[in-house]
Amino acid sequence: MSADHHHHDHDHNHGHHHDNRYTDMQARVRALETVLTEKGLIDPAAIDAIVETYETKIGPRNGAHVVAKAWSDPDFSGWLKRDATAAIASLGYAGRQGEHMRAVFNTPDTHNLVVCTLCSCYPWSVLGLPPVWYKAPAYRSRAVIDPRGVLAEFGLTLPETKKIRVWDSTAELRYLVIPERPEGTEGMSEDELAKLVSRDAMIGTAIARAESGKKRP
């Protein structure tokens, strides 16, 4: 779903007001940056630093480390249940959109799925920036009413008897799903375990698998 495609549809299908300011986002955003830079209100190098942070430093590997530690260390797992913000901060992950963390544990009975139906709330400190689908209407509209249908689109079919708990992030709590540890991973190190934990498994649109974690997003 490219942004250009949407703008094309918008301009030609909706006659309410012909708003061509947004047909070229590259130009629009460049103009905005130029105006604010000329006014001395922003530092373009700060934008570079923000982008670099989220491209290279803050991403789902942070969350995978948290999960692997929880799988390996019962004390840490208990701390994560009681005070996720502090437990996660002890590994060095804190800050913007991770100020108030909650960890929700999948069990043999219950699968957890996280959504923000009202906007795009997401635990940036442990998962980085959200993927496009997480912010798009299809996921936000259906996760709360048809989670099994949504999961099927991710290739995940849960047993019919498994309970599904959907967490709608309507306040400032940010949720990290702790998937179940896959069988056959006894004796693996934390680093090896972390490789089995995908971003989607920590949102709840996947589970952790012993064999194919590396290929998954």
**Segment near another protein (CB under 8 A); pick from 31-39, 72-80, 178-186, 187-195:** 31-39
Binding-site size for another protein (CB under 8 A) equals: 92
- When asked if residue 42 is in the footprint of another protein (CB under 8 A), the reply is yes
**Segment near another protein (CB under 8 A); pick from 68-76, 150-158, 181-189, 190-198:** 150-158
Check 2, 72, 77, 121 and give the catalytic one. 121
Which residue, 101 or 188, is less far from another protein as judged by CB? 101
Pairing of strands 101-105, 174-178: parallel
**Least distance CB 81 / another protein (angstroms):** 11
Check 77, 116, 125, 198 and give the catalytic one. 116
- When asked if residue 81 is in the footprint of another protein (CB under 8 A), the reply is no
Q: Which residues are catalytic?
A: 116, 119-121
